[in-house]
Structure 1
């Protein structure tokens, strides 16, 4: 059960909690491919091959494990590798990544996201906590948050307890005084609980909870429902 008396701050996941991420990624990859067709056609042809892309991802996972926490660097270096393999100018990687990254920031928030953040930020300090590479200023949500903690900036991804503790520090409270809000069972719920926080599972798909021994302190099918719990 959620203990409302303990909550002094919230940490909030971004992708698939405040907006659906895959439409953004698919659109960004399409825009990147269109750019490559004009500026690096051999690489565009390579990117059109699903098997070639899988091989590049395998190569990056095997040879650059140091980038697993930094999706921006991983994407940039994957583009650089594709350029090199296709015989195009590898120096185009920076520009190509920026084309992708700019489109990736054009998120479409869930309908309840802005109203919920307005409500929550008026009552608690909010800290974003993400393994992704969204830029709160570019997506238009920075005004709600006291701080942003990401795997990219911190160097360690969720579900490691240390990144949750960093979010608590950013909010100026102890971990046990934080309610973490997120959609992912492992990365958000179990990760937060392992760090000594309470967790609210945003289960928009209304899926069954997969663990018998551990449950979230709160399960909500929307951010609006979460606000209702915290209004009580």
Structure 2
């Protein structure tokens, strides 16, 4: 654990999910492949779909509506629907929803490590523990349904981190100031910059051995750098 600044008193702890409480990298790679295979099976014309074409559809809908970049669910749904509309398939909206639900299921087909759950449970005995995520994982499916007093996901009017929206919503919900939140996350832009630039304190969870000074996403100094979630228990 590295301390770059002395922590000020805080009243709540917020957590990023993907790559903070669990290693999301192999999970999302597998889910993307399974979803792509599923998509190609939905119609003979889709059997010729390439991964580059799928990428191109995602970029096309983003070019039309740039706000989709802050809502991964809406972005995927829009890209799926664009494919089905172009191929003139029946009920493209329903087909897109079904394809998305398949993706969400395989994307959430794992269990959060017991060590992460134990840390959350111990922290929750002392502080409100909440989730602030840009992702769309199914918390009930991965065993986090009851781990947080509040779960905020980007979308439905809440812009993704590093924007202030979810931090401000959390503070208002808890009847505290954003400065009273200690945020824990693995991403130096969405989590560290997102927290610090909006007035919260930030812990950078770095279990990959990255170097802060040379990391491409390093824009703002975290308050603390941790390599194991259990180190959070030293704050109790």
Give the TM-score normalised by structure 1.
Answer: 0.88
Alignment of 1:57-68 (within 5 A): 57-68=58-69
- Correspondence for 1:50: 51
Deviation at 1:20, TM superposition (A): 2.1
- Correspondence for 1:139: 142
Aligned length: 227
Give the TM-score normalised by structure 2.
Answer: 0.86
Deviation at 1:196, TM superposition (A): 1.1
Distance change (3 Å), C-alpha of 1:214 and 1:66? closer
SS of structure 1 residue aligned to 2:20: coil
Encode CA deviations 1:63-120: one digit per residue, 9 max, x unaligned.
1223222211111121122223345442421111111111112234345311111111
Consecutive unaligned residues in structure 2, runs of 5 or more: none
8 Å CA contact 2:189, 2:219 repeated in 1: no
Task: Identify, as 1 or 2, the structure richer in helix.
Answer: 1
Distance change (3 Å), C-alpha of 1:76 and 1:214? closer
Structure 2 CA distance for aligned equivalents of residues 9 and 141 of structure 1: 18
Alignment of 1:19-34 (within 5 A): 19-34=22-37
Deviation at 1:138, TM superposition (A): 2.9
8 Å CA contact 2:196, 2:220 repeated in 1: no
Structure 1 CA distance for aligned equivalents of residues 19 and 180 of structure 2: 24
Structure 1 CA distance for aligned equivalents of residues 232 and 47 of structure 2: 44
- Correspondence for 1:85: 86
- Correspondence for 1:192: 195
SS of structure 2 residue aligned to 1:149: strand
Which of these residues, 13, 18, 31, is aligned with residue 15 of structure 1? 18
SS of structure 1 residue aligned to 2:118: helix
Consecutive unaligned residues in structure 1, runs of 5 or more: none
8 Å CA contact 1:8, 1:124 repeated in 2: yes
Deviation at 1:50, TM superposition (A): 2.9
Structure 1 CA distance for aligned equivalents of residues 165 and 37 of structure 2: 40
SS of structure 1 residue aligned to 2:155: helix
Structure 1 CA distance for aligned equivalents of residues 73 and 136 of structure 2: 6
- Pair 1:209-2:212 in alignment: yes
Structure 2 CA distance for aligned equivalents of residues 133 and 226 of structure 1: 25
Cα RMSD of the aligned pairs, angstroms, is 2.2
- Pair 1:173-2:179 in alignment: no
Encode CA deviations 1:5-33: one digit per residue, 9 max, x unaligned.
x1110111111111222322222223323
